Structure 1
Amino acid sequence: MQRILVVGISGAGKSTMARVLSGRLAVPYHEMDALRYVAPGWGVDEGFAAKVAALTASPAWVFDSLGYPEVRDLLWERADTVVWLDYGRAVIMPRVLRRSLRRTLRRERVFGGNRETLAGWFRRDHPAWWAWSQHGARRADIGSRARDPRFAHLRVIRFGAPREAAAWLDTVPPAEPGERASG
């Protein structure tokens, strides 16, 4: 388990799981949204796909996303493990609503210096709307990929509840000193 892709819908806890795995296994963590959105106005890095290709060429990494269309297949091809946080809306929605509300009220800067705004809550691409409307489609897409022969090399670890993921994470042994992966 050296090239890990953590997938699920917005609010599932992908970034948190990826950070913890990165620390536990001593492999680099790459936050997909931070790589993609690099400027105010949600400006996308023109070199995003090339940057992800270079990062995934290294021997060890953790990414926290199903992936944007331009890099999705690459991530699935180069990963050796997919950790799927397959939680229902009853888990996802309170998480994404709390996170977005906190970001909005505190005017927290996120990727590329952007902020979630009150006006943004009424847009179809707002994380809360996205998590609600794309939940079924995202689940179906991940399930389809997990069964796709192109990705037969992958170990897919699927969790239906946060307590399952937490229990599994407790079984992941930390890297020994000196076993720090590069990348």
Structure 2
Amino acid sequence: MSKTLSRILVYGIHGSGKSTLAQRLSERLGLPWYPVDDLLWEPNWVEVPVARQRSRIEAICRRDRWILDGAYHGWRDVPLARADLVIGLDYPRGLSFRWLLRRTLRRLSTGEEICNGNRESLGSVLSTESVLVWHLTEFGRERRRLRAWHADPSGPPVLLFETPDALERWLNGSPSR
């Protein structure tokens, strides 16, 4: 992995390991990581207005060094315009859903804070706005978006990883199989 990377967008469906990878890359490359959930949600799950989200993301992306662990509607274009690299976690639906379900159940049982004092609750998990429902309904759209970015030579380079093993080989500097 090149040490010259300074602006990285990690992208994938919820549960694919974006934040975990962003944290690892931050530690390895010495780049500041800006967890997107911290920028999008205020306490009590109050969503930051999209214009303010965009402003926050623009301020980060104007910097010379950053890692973001997601990109959402209303401002997706901002990190794409500045990223040196997009790392796409294009794992199978079953794998990312299992990881998401396991993470959600762990957070429910431990009361783990997600961002800005927010936590999973049984009500949030069972609601129509649940991250689990979102995964099921948005998986195909997110996958198509990621693959379109990968195929678009006018955008930043996109490394697509279809398995965790392929990602690990890349992180360890071994050729992909």
Superimposed CA distance per residue, residues 135-165 of structure 1 (whole angstroms, 9 cap, x where no aligned partner): 11110112223334541xx121110000110
How far apart are residue 98 of structure 1 and its match? 0.7
* Structure 1 residues 21-40: aligned runs within 5 Å: 21-40=25-44
How far apart are residue 129 of structure 1 and its match? 1.5
Give the TM-score of the pair, scaled to structure 1: 0.86
Deviating 4+ runs (over 4 angstroms)? none
1:51 aligns with 2:53: no
Alpha-carbon RMSD:
1.7
2:160 alignment counterpart: 158
Q: Provide structure 1 residue ranges, at least 5 long, that are not aligned to the other structure.
A: 173-183
How far apart are residue 93 of structure 1 and its match? 1.3
Secondary structure of the residue aligned to 1:110 is: strand
Name which of 62, 66, 69 aligns with 1:64: 69
* Structure 1 residues 99-138: aligned runs within 5 Å: 99-138=103-142
Structure 2: how far apart are the matches of 1:39 and 1:149?
40
Superimposed CA distance per residue, residues 4-61 of structure 1 (whole angstroms, 9 cap, x where no aligned partner): 0000000100001111111111111011111111221333266322121111111111
Aligned length: 169
Structure with the larger RCO, 1 or 2 (CA within 8 Å, 6+ apart): 1
Structure 1: how far apart are the matches of 2:56 and 2:32?
14
1:98 alignment counterpart: 102
Amino-acid identity (%): 33
AA partner of residue 59 (structure 2): A
Give the TM-score of the pair, scaled to structure 2: 0.88
2:151 alignment counterpart: 147
Structure 2: how far apart are the matches of 1:54 and 1:41?
23
Contact 1:77 1:150 in 2 (8 A): no
Q: Provide structure 2 residue ranges, at least 5 long, that are not aligned to the other structure.
A: none
Name which of 6, 10, 13 aligns with 1:9: 13
Contact 1:5 1:79 in 2 (8 A): yes
Structure 1: how far apart are the matches of 2:125 and 2:45?
15
